[in-house]
């Protein structure tokens, strides 16, 4: 469902593993970044664009809350004990859902700053998490033929890998 700010309640909170954030929260910098490589031709004017995939979104959420409420909520955001891997957290907010961000890793928790009497601003920085998917494709509408020998070899190897994966999946 598309994000409809006038029809959706509770836009001031987000959920981490189903637990609502305290106070008022504001999301900043979430997006759907893409990796676009620009190649210049030797002795040629202009360049071409090559789509290299979707990058991970990095964003922050500022929360204005009282100290006790934040500390009851914050254990899900703290760094794991030394020697343990960080935990991927489920996150929900309508804006993030619209961008198809539902799992995150906590990148940073900044120091709290007192913004009013009894109110503190806590900033958590996140990186979207997703599984890797093989997707060696040209953007839609491209009709030119790849002539770069390295790109041709990569395409052939990806075809071979996909064929082997299909054979593996058909095994009992």
For the chain, domain boundaries: 15-133, 134-172
Average pLDDT score, the chain: 84
% pLDDT > 90, the chain: 31
Query: What is the CB neighbour count within 10 angstroms for residue 114?
Result: 10
Q: What is the mean pLDDT of residues 48-72?
A: 89
Say which residue, 146 or 62, is predicted with more confidence: 62
What sign has the CA pseudo-torsion 2, 105, 58, 113? positive
pLDDT of residue 92: 93
% pLDDT > 70, the chain: 86
pLDDT of residue 78: 83
DSSP state letter for 75: G
pLDDT in tens, 79-106: 777 888 888 999 999 889 989 999 999 9
pLDDT of residue 104: 95
Class of domain 15-133: mainly beta
Query: What is the CB neighbour count within 10 angstroms for residue 162?
Result: 12
Q: How confident is the model at residue 123 (pLDDT cuts 50, 70, 90)?
A: very high
Most confident of 52-56, 58-62, 72-76, 147-151: 58-62
């Amino acid at each position: 469902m598309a994000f409809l700010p006038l029809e959706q309640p509770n836009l001031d909170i987000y959920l981490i593993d189903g637990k609502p954030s305290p106070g008022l929260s504001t999301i900043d910098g979430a997006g759907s970044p893409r990796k676009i490589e620009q190649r210049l031709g030797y002795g040629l004017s202009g360049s071409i664009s090559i789509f290299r995939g979707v990058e991970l979104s990095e964003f922050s959420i500022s929360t204005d809350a009282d100290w006790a409420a934040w500390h009851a909520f914050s254990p899900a955001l703290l760094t794991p004990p030394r020697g343990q891997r960080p935990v991927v957290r489920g996150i929900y907010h309508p804006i993030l859902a619209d961008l198809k961000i539902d799992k995150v890793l906590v990148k940073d928790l900044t120091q709290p700053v007192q913004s009013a009497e009894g109110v503190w601003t806590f900033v958590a920085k996140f990186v979207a998490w997703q599984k890797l998917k093989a997707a060696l494709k040209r953007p839609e509408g491209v009709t030119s033929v790849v002539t770069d020998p390295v790109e041709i070899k990569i395409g052939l190897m990806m075809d071979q890998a996909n064929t082997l994966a299909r054979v593996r999946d058909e095994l009992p």
